[in-house]
Structure 1
Amino acid sequence: MIQVKIPQNLSLINALNFCNRLWDLKQSDEYTFDFVNLCRVEPFTMAYVANELKRFRETKPKSKFTALNHKNKSYAAHMGFFRAFGLKFGNEPGEAAGSSTYLPLTILNVAELKKEAADSYDHVGNVIEAKSERIAKILTRLEEGDLVDTLTFSIREILRNVVEHSDSEVIEYCAQYWPTKNLVEFAVLDTGNGIKHGLSTNPYLKIKDERDALHLAMLPGVSGKMFKGVKKREL
């Protein structure tokens, strides 16, 4: 049996280091994850670690997985963290209603988004627009205004990129507002083919690795689908 302790503070660096160590674990008939030290978990790391734990379990179908010291982790349980990777404890992702200070870990199925659009004879972009506007209103605690419009646009573009370019089956998101810090964190995660793959269809780009692709993607006009010689479609 291999016992794995979850870090006390699941900050970005700690989460990345933990998940890297996770994939380096030796093969075992049983893995036990101990949450005794877990105190702080942030929106992105909640989605990221839950997804990595789920993927890790799926690669070892013959192994047994157990958890320890998780039943007093009420925040993570309420947000849907545990059930997101298959542990039957706490809320399902998206089950909590959310409030003016948080959005629970929520998993949107891309196929279901497309079906919702088809069933209503609408474009999937409009379905995403409606969901993005709801998220923006919760994050800003406003019903209208420039900030709501700006966030709606930004969130919509992120979600549309997942649906139209990543080939990911799901979109995961989570958010938290800390009034004492006057800080909001909104996190979106997908498990698609990556930026390097998305830009690889553009023959005018020379891409060495994912880091190189990420830098290129930040430049204006860089795309894997729209480049010199490609006819633009009317949207």
Structure 2
Amino acid sequence: MSGAMIKIPGRMDIGAILGIARLVDYYAKRDRIRIEFEDPSFFSPFSMLFIAAKLKAVRTKNPDMKIDLKNHQGLLYAAHMGFFRMFGVDHGRDIGEAWGSENYLPITCMDRASFYTQAGDKYAEIGDLIQREADKIARVITRDRPEHKSMFDVLSYSIREMMRNVFEHSNSDRVYYCTQYWPKSGKVEFAVADFGIGIRRGLGCNPNFRFPTDKQAIEHSLLPSVSGKTHLPRVSETWHNSGYGLYMTNRLARNGGNFVLASGATAIHMSRRTKHNFQTSFPGTALRFNLDVGQIGDVQAKLNQFRREGQEIARSISGTGNRPPSAMSLLLRRDFS
């Protein structure tokens, strides 16, 4: 088939970012795609990771597809972050090659095997190993400064829960992530993506949560006590799957920012007062956690509040069995240790 052109706007709202995935699908069987960038183009962590991951997935299915770029030379930030290399274009730094700094971490691939670096790790629970990596990421962005304690708490907790979602539910052994902190505006954004089985199939492992559409599955996944594994016997008192991880994380994000979850044909964008659904196309799961640092407050107090509210909500959800939250979905690591 002949080639096609996809134009990337200089500024993209969340609807435009998610819509690009459907456009890529439309041209997925073409021999060649030209991607033209408006100059200048601004990429947030989520927009970079989501678009690059989508292009990577399409090229995996159609390895003979050629991708040409136009007006990309000035995209120094995206090139430095590993955006182009992720979908196989030889431009800029490779995934994880950039050192990162106190304000950002480039697109990085983390696989399950990388957790096992110390002699005793093979005896550790996967939740503990994920927590260790989440702390490392949060420490880089917050610079380990006392005045950034609240930001460290909320990042460590949320990154842990988002990555647990990948390694415990997606059937994927690999996750991609990147993050950016903007000190002047006090905003921080963390993005994560995987090429696993997606939200609907993940929840469908539990016979109580089998849904006909991605929209229904995504909306239920953000409710308390909803999980693909809550029907199974507990294997850990500390890390059992209670279905509260994404619920607590999206509540934290919405408290002073917004939360995006995309899987299959649907994405949801939520803030403190709004909820919007979008059509998209993603072969796995992608999440965005965007927060105003100045509105974080006492993280543990908010987790306690969200737990109480969540337990009330869970009582009204059919199929949950009203399983209580796991210890680690309620506690910050420093409070548990």
* TM-score (norm. length: structure 1): 0.86
Q: 2: CA distance between counterparts of 1:45 and 1:136?
A: 20
Q: 2: CA distance between counterparts of 1:163 and 1:46?
A: 22
Aligned residues: 232
Q: Which amino acid aligns with 1:224?
A: G
Q: How does 1:218-233 map to 2 (within 5 A)?
A: 218-227=222-231, 230-233=232-235
Q: 2: CA distance between counterparts of 1:153 and 1:114?
A: 17
Q: How does 1:1-235 map to 2 (within 5 A)?
A: 1-25=3-27, 27-37=29-39, 39-110=41-112, 112-113=113-114, 116=117, 120-123=121-124, 124-143=126-145, 145=149, 147-205=151-209, 207-227=211-231, 230-234=232-236
85-94 or 131-140, which deviates more: 131-140
CA spacing shift, 1:135–1:195, aligned 2, 3 Å = same
Q: Which amino acid aligns with 1:16?
A: L
**What is the aligned-residue identity percentage?**
36
Note the C-alpha offset of 1:17. 1.5
Note the C-alpha offset of 1:143. 4.6
Q: Which amino acid aligns with 1:186?
A: F
CA spacing shift, 1:204–1:36, aligned 2, 3 Å = closer
Q: 2: CA distance between counterparts of 1:114 and 1:137?
A: 17
Q: CA RMSD in A?
A: 2.4
38-47 or 17-26, which deviates more: 17-26
Structure 2 residue runs of 5 or longer lacking an equivalent are 238-337
Note the C-alpha offset of 1:163. 1.0
Contact 1:98/1:104, CA 8 A, preserved across alignment: yes
Note the C-alpha offset of 1:166. 0.3
CA spacing shift, 1:33–1:78, aligned 2, 3 Å = same
Structure 1 residue runs of 5 or longer lacking an equivalent are none
Note the C-alpha offset of 1:205. 3.2
Q: Which amino acid aligns with 2:71?
A: N
* Counterpart secondary structure, 1:89: coil
CA spacing shift, 1:168–1:37, aligned 2, 3 Å = farther
Contact 2:101/2:141, CA 8 A, preserved across alignment: no
Q: 2: CA distance between counterparts of 1:92 and 1:26?
A: 24
